[in-house]
Every structure is written in structure tokens, then in C-alpha cells.
Amino acid sequence: MAIIHTHSLPPGPGAARQARAAFSPFLERLELAPDVRDGFLLAMSELVTNLSNHPVPLPESIRVTLSRTRGAWLLEIADNGPPFAAFESISNKNFELDELRECGMGIQLVRERFPDCRYLPAPEAADGWNHMELRRPIGTTLQCKPEVLVVDDDPVLLKVLDGYLRAEFTVVGLNSVDAALAHLERGSTALIISDIHMPGTNGYDFRRQIHKTSNTADIPFILLTGSNSDADLQTAVNLSIDDFLTKPVDKRQLIATIRRVLKRSIDVRNQIGDRLDAEITSALEPQFSEPPQGFSAATAFQAAAPGGGDLLIERRLEDGHLVVLADVMGHGEQAKFFAHALNGFVYGAVQGLSTRLSPGTLLNALSDLFHTDRVLSKSLATALVLVIDRRGGITMSAAGHPPPFLVHADRLETIDVGGPLLGLMKDAPYSEQQMQITSGERLVLYTDGVSEAGRNILDDPADLLGVSVEDALASSDEEIASGMIQAARWRSPSELEDDATVIVLRRNND
């Protein structure tokens, strides 16, 4: 889990306003869809207001946390007061919305926007606080129906085609090419149907214009005409359109044509994406060119079917070794592209720096790049930075990354190191932790494709390993690395949703 922001506040008349002010900048930075952003702010206000007015006695403190897991946003409202029966009704699926409205606390508004919610009262929570958790899957606000843009100067035909297609597609009907070009700037159109003969710009010129623009050139295009002349057909063929239909249009033929053209477009994109993803995944596969001096390294990596952005960067320093394990949020070739960009930025950031490189300083510089750079500002990333000296000393900083752990001779120990995601804020503070690795001890690093496999968020080393502590202590480095990947796959109901990387660094005998 990557914590975006957490804020503690006392209950009171201004608590809801204070919570909204604390989280609004972060929600804006994440570029959430407006309804998701407003839904979180509304739920936050309602829940904090209730905790400030109704429990007896009131809690001493309220803690609000926004996190991102693989596939979902998570808003958690925790308090150290008594369990609140009204909140239990939110997550009780047997309560109807009408019943919730009767309580007069605005609770039904929360339930309507967040059907996936859970209330964990203090007696059931490990930390002794009450927890209200609201989960919103990432991408749920994207429209489910593909958008079909129909361009024709005949208003009757626009209404007819809307009636034909609205059950299966989102239909946008416009009567001019100029209006269509303006609409295409929104970037939501899956397919275009255009008349040929229209006042002003005709369908042929419309096709030529969008073919010249990179963000619209690959949108499937169907020409529609009232004539069936050979000249029209030949011109259409020369424009590399996807199909050509004549009026009057048969409904079944139209829908079948749209389905076929869309499927063909998706298949072509998937083939290109799969090939690109395979090439980039291979180039980015985490592996050491040489392990840090005095250490051996074992790595295991599993590329997710949708893709991901795991990245290992290592560089020998004059007095040690730099290791950066990063995970760019996202899927497929987009995440791989940002991973490549991050790779270049990291190498550029360390060029010319002192050999006594500070992990916290490097993370701060990278976070500022994510916050301000035109390319990297479109993404977020977790990262773990280690500077390892030749005597086995390690200085470590983390940016929203899962905590590493040590394998001692007789126990497992989690290393508590944390900091905000890269790009979440400018001038982000990153603390540093120092430790000494003795001969035979092993440090295990991993990405959240391992810890969040199957939507189960794990940070206990024994759970991540999937074996008993005794078996883990007796395992080889390679068995630990590959075993954690295998355990992640077992926890996943199907394919891994994100790249999974494990690195085991063993301190060799002096």
C-alpha cells in the first residue's frame, strides 16, 4: 500500500473543514476524476462531522488517511473514541438506503458513493482504534460504453443513428467537422462515423485532418454517403478508412460493422502493445551487472500480464554502491515508458554528485522532478534507495516503498523506513536510516507487486515468504527470491496485476 497523505485532528466544529483543506491539494495533484475527488471530500466531511458531534464520549483524535493500493483508492477515517453504531450501519449490507436516510446524519450519501466500505470497531482492530474504510476501484469512472462520434449535417439522421446505437455505445452527434474536431480534443472517442458531402469541410478533408494529428490518427473511421459512385469508393480507399457505408443504413449492418472495426482496432493495438511491452520488459528486467562489493545478489522477477514499471538501477561508487529499486505506478507500455524515463533521470541525477551520495537527497531531487517535469509529472512512483559501503554499512531512504526486511541467523526483522511517493509534493522530506549488515545476514528488497498480490496487503516477512520462519532461515538466497514470487502468484486469483521483483543481498564473509 502507498500512503498518499495522513492527517490527525481533534473533533470539533471546524474539523471537517480542516480535513478538506488538508487533503484537497493531494487530491488535485493525483488528477482524479471530479466525481471521485468530490466523493472523497464529501465522505470525509460527513464522517468527520459525525465523529465530532455524535459519539458519547467524543474521541480525542481523528486520523484521516488516503492510500493507493493496486487497483483501488482507499480512504480511512480512524478515531480513538467508543465504537459508533451509526457507522456500523454503513457497512451493513442489510441496511437499505432509505433506513440510512432516516438517521439524518448524511450517512446514506457515503453509502451511495462507496458501496465497498467496512467499519472495524476498536475491539476488532489491532491498534485499538475504530476504522472506517472506503474503497474506490481505480478507473471505475471511465465510461463503460465506447464513444461513437457521428458527424452529419442531417439532424434527422443524427437522431436515427443515436436511436440505433445508444443501447451499446455512447453516441455523440455533431453537425459539422469544426465541432467534431473540437470534440476530439477531449480524447474520448473510440470510433468516428462521418458523412462525405457536408457544407464547408467534407468527410474526405475531415479524414485527412485527423490523420495528420498523432492523437487522432489511429481512431477507426467509417465514411457514410448517400451515393454509391465508384469515385467516392476509390477516394475512400485511398484515405485508408476502415469501412464505407451507404444510406439508408441498416441497423444490424451498422452495429455489426462498428463491432468488427472496433475489434480489429483493439486487436492491432494489443499486438503492438504486447510486442512493445515484451521488448521494454526485457530491457528493464531487474538484475545486477555486478553486486555491491562484499555482497552477493539473487534476484527474481515476474512481469505481470498487463505490464508494470519495476526498475532496478545500480551504480558502483568510489566508496561503495548505489542501489535504487523503483516501481512506477500504472500498467502496460505507459508504465514502461515512465520507467525508462525514470531510469534516465536517476543516472542523470547521480552524475557529478559526490561519491558520498545521500539517499534522502537523491529521493528529494527525484520527487521534485516528478512534481515539475513535463513527462514524469504524469505519473507517481515508489522507490527505495540504498548506498552500501564496502564495510557492509547501509544508508537507506524510501518513497512510499514496501519495507525491506533482514534475515538474521535466528529471526526475521522488518526495516521501518518510509516517506511520501515520488512526485506527491515539492521539497518532500525523506529521512535516512543507517544499519550494519554482518557476515551471513541477508537484506530482502521487494516491490508492491509482491506485497499486494491478490489485493491482500502484506508486510510481515513470514507471510511474504509463504513458509515458516524456520524454513525461511534455512532457505538459500535464490529460494527466498523465487519463493516470494511464487507465494505472490499463489495469493493472486489469476495473473499478477503488477510486476513483482525480489532482491536478496547477502553480506559475504570478510
CB crowding 49-60: b at 16 or more within 10 Å, else e: bbbbebbeebbe
- pLDDT tens column, 12-70: 888 888 888 888 877 776 656 677 778 888 888 888 988 988 888 999 999 999 887 75
Q: Which residues pair with 413 in a beta bridge?
A: 406
What pLDDT band is residue 298 in, cutting at 50, 70 and 90?
very high
CB crowding 452-472: b at 16 or more within 10 Å, else e: bbbeeebeebeebbbbeeeeb
Provide the 8-state DSSP code for 422: B
Residue 181 grid cell: 474536431
**HSE-up of residue 186 (Cα within 13 Å, Cβ side):** 10
Residue with cell 505507459: 334
Helix (H) or strand (E) holding 4: strand 2-9
Residue 99 grid cell: 433506513
CA–CA distances in Å: residue 316 to residues 159, 319, 321, 356: 67, 8, 4, 12
Helix axes 15-29, 34-53, angle to 10 degrees: 160
* 147-276: CATH superfamily: Response regulator (3.40.50.2300)
Helix axes 251-284, 332-350, angle to 10 degrees: 30
CATH 3.60.40.10 fits 285-507, yes or no: yes
In the three-class reduction of DSSP (H, G, I as helix; E, B as strand; rest coil), residue 198 is classed as coil
CA-nearest of 413, 508, 401 to 451 is 401
The answer to whether 57 touches 81, Cβ cutoff 8 Å, is yes
What pLDDT band is residue 101 in, cutting at 50, 70 and 90?
very low
Confidence check: pLDDT of 334 > 60: no
Helical H runs in 54-188? 85-91, 97-102, 107-113, 155-165, 177-184
Q: What is the average pLDDT score of the chain?
A: 81
The answer to whether 447 touches 402, Cβ cutoff 8 Å, is yes
For residues 437-456, give the mean pLDDT: 85
- pLDDT tens column, 200-237: 888 889 988 888 886 788 899 998 887 767 676 677 66
The answer to whether 198 touches 153, Cβ cutoff 8 Å, is yes
For residues 97-109, give the mean pLDDT: 49
The sign of the CA dihedral 108, 114, 117, 119 is: negative
Rg (CA), the chain: 27
For residues 493-506, give the mean pLDDT: 82
Domain extents for the chain? Answer: 2-137, 147-276, 285-507
Q: Which residue has the higher pLDDT, 152 or 5?
A: 152
What's the CA dihedral at 341, 346, 348, 352 to 10 degrees?
Answer: 180
Instruction: Return all residues near 453 (Cβ < 8 A) that are at least 6 apart.
Output: 487, 488, 489, 491, 492, 496, 497, 500
Q: Is this model's pTM higher than 0.85 or not? A: no
- Cα(187)–Cα(183) distance, integer angstroms: 8
Confidence check: pLDDT of 394 > 80: yes
CA–CA distances in Å: residue 263 to residues 3, 92, 150, 258: 38, 41, 19, 8
3-state helix, strand, coil in the chain (%, to 5): 40, 25, 35
Instruction: Return all residues near 271 (Cβ < 8 A) that are at least 6 apart.
Output: none
Confidence check: pLDDT of 305 > 60: no
Confidence check: pLDDT of 106 > 60: no
What pLDDT band is residue 240 in, cutting at 50, 70 and 90?
confident
Beta strands in 347-483 (DSSP E): 381-389, 393-399, 405-407, 412-414, 433-436, 442-446
- Cα(45)–Cα(110) distance, integer angstroms: 10
CA-nearest of 139, 84, 90 to 112 is 90
Other CB atoms within 10 Å distance of the CB of residue 433: 15
Residue type, 503: I
Distance of CA 435 to the CA centre of its chain: 32
CA-nearest of 11, 39, 13 to 23 is 39
- Cα(81)–Cα(60) distance, integer angstroms: 7
Confidence check: pLDDT of 98 > 60: no
Q: Which residues pair with 320 in a beta bridge?
A: 317, 389
Provide the 8-state DSSP code for 219: S
What pLDDT band is residue 351 in, cutting at 50, 70 and 90?
low
Other CB atoms within 10 Å distance of the CB of residue 248: 9
Length of the chain equals 510
Provide the 8-state DSSP code for 388: E
CATH 3.30.565.10 fits 2-137, yes or no: yes
